[in-house]
Amino acid sequence: MLFVISVALLLTYWVVVSLYTGLSGPITFLYAWLEQVSVVMGYPGSFLISFIGNATILIPFPYIAVPFMLGGLTDTITHEFMFNPFVVGIASGIGATLGEMTGYAIGRAGGHFIDESRRGGFLSLIEKHPRLTPLVLWFLAVTPLPDDELIVPLGVVRYPWWKVFLLQLLGKSMFLTGVAWAGRTGLGFIQQLIDAINPTSWVSKSAEVLTVLAVVVILYLMVRVDWSNLKANRPPQEISPP
């Protein structure tokens, strides 16, 4: 039901912005706000936004835009870079890790309310292959893939919190340091691209809607599909005699 409502709201928004082409989309305002946060707050702003972006359970938030911007921002007078990408990555990594730990705390506190059959494919993988858990934790942290589908169940089964924290801190710091360095080399191009695109055009609004719709579909599949049973439900393959 929530998926249907989300799609219906997106389609309604698309119809409205198509009829009133002078309206600027929320992504345009969000980009401008994140840019202001980056300039005004610097390292603390990157820590705060990274915390908020990772504390929003199953709700996508473009927090990586701030370390990306901080990595590439230059002084308008000296034209020198204003922030160190390594410091940006560490500050953002700490904030992101603390944000992810809220999901662990929710799973640990509310584990007895969760049906064991609904814990998802990641938890099944952890129980069958416990040695893979640290690797999966680090992999999710060092990529933009969502962590909640793993971290919340880890709280449910009371997996040691310090292992989750350390692996997330390592992975998030590596990932966001890379994002900051990417901003140092690519922020100028992104700004030129945004300036060249009319944010009120029908094409921009349609691309915005399609992007959000793709995120909604991915989240729906992550939550609703029991990935652990996909392999079990496959029909056995016939082996032809030699």
- The pLDDT of residue 26 is 62
Q: What is the pLDDT of residues 175-194, one digit of tens each?
A: 999 999 999 988 877 766 65
The counts of H helices and E strands in the chain are: 9, 0
Note the pLDDT of residue 14.
67
- Residue 30 or residue 62, greater confidence: 62
**What's the rounded mean pLDDT across residues 119-131?**
66
Query: Does residue 118 register a pLDDT over 70?
Result: no
Average pLDDT over residues 91-113: 87
DSSP class of residue 81 equals: B
In this structure, are residues 228 and 125 in contact, taking their beta carbons and an 8 Å threshold?
A: yes
pLDDT tier at 152, thresholds 50, 70, 90:
confident
CB 183 within 8 A of CB 71: yes
Distance CA(167)–CA(165), nearest Å, equals: 6
Neighbouring residues of 130: CB distance < 8 A, sequence distance ≥ 6: none
Q: Is 111 helix (H, G, I), strand (E, B) or coil?
A: helix
AA letter at 117: S
| Residue 59: both structure tokens together | 């709700």
Q: Given a cut of 60, is residue 240 above it in pLDDT? A: no
Contact 107, 156 (CB under 8 A): yes
Between residues 66 and 205, the one the model is more confident about: 66
User: What pLDDT does 203 receive?
Assistant: 62
Residue 153 tokens read as: 């169940």
The CA–CA distances, whole Å, from 172 to 98, 144, 153, 177 equal 11, 9, 19, 8
Q: What average pLDDT score do residues 56-69 get?
A: 79
Q: Could you tell me if 141 and 112 are in contact, meaning their C-beta atoms sit under 8 angstroms apart? A: no
Instruction: Indicate whether 206 pLDDT > 60.
Output: yes
Smallest CA-to-CA distance from 194 within 19, 65, 16, 39 is with 65
Using only C-alpha atoms, what is the Rg of the chain?
21
163 vs 122 pLDDT, higher one: 163
User: If you average pLDDT over residues 79-102, what whole number do you get?
Assistant: 94
Residue 220 has pLDDT above 70, yes or no: no
User: Which pTM value belongs to this model?
Assistant: 0.70
Counting residues of the chain whose pLDDT is more than 90, the rounded percentage is: 23
Report DSSP letters for 41-69, one per residue.
Answer: HHHHHHHHHHHHHHHSTT----TTHHHHH
SS (H, E, C) 133-199: HHHHHHHHHCCCCCCHHHHHHHHHCCCCHHHHHHHHHHHHHHHHHHHHHHHHHHHHHHHHHHHHCCC
Q: Which carries the bigger pLDDT value, residue 146 or residue 102?
A: 102
Structure confidence at residue 110 (pLDDT): 74
Res 91 pLDDT > 90 = yes
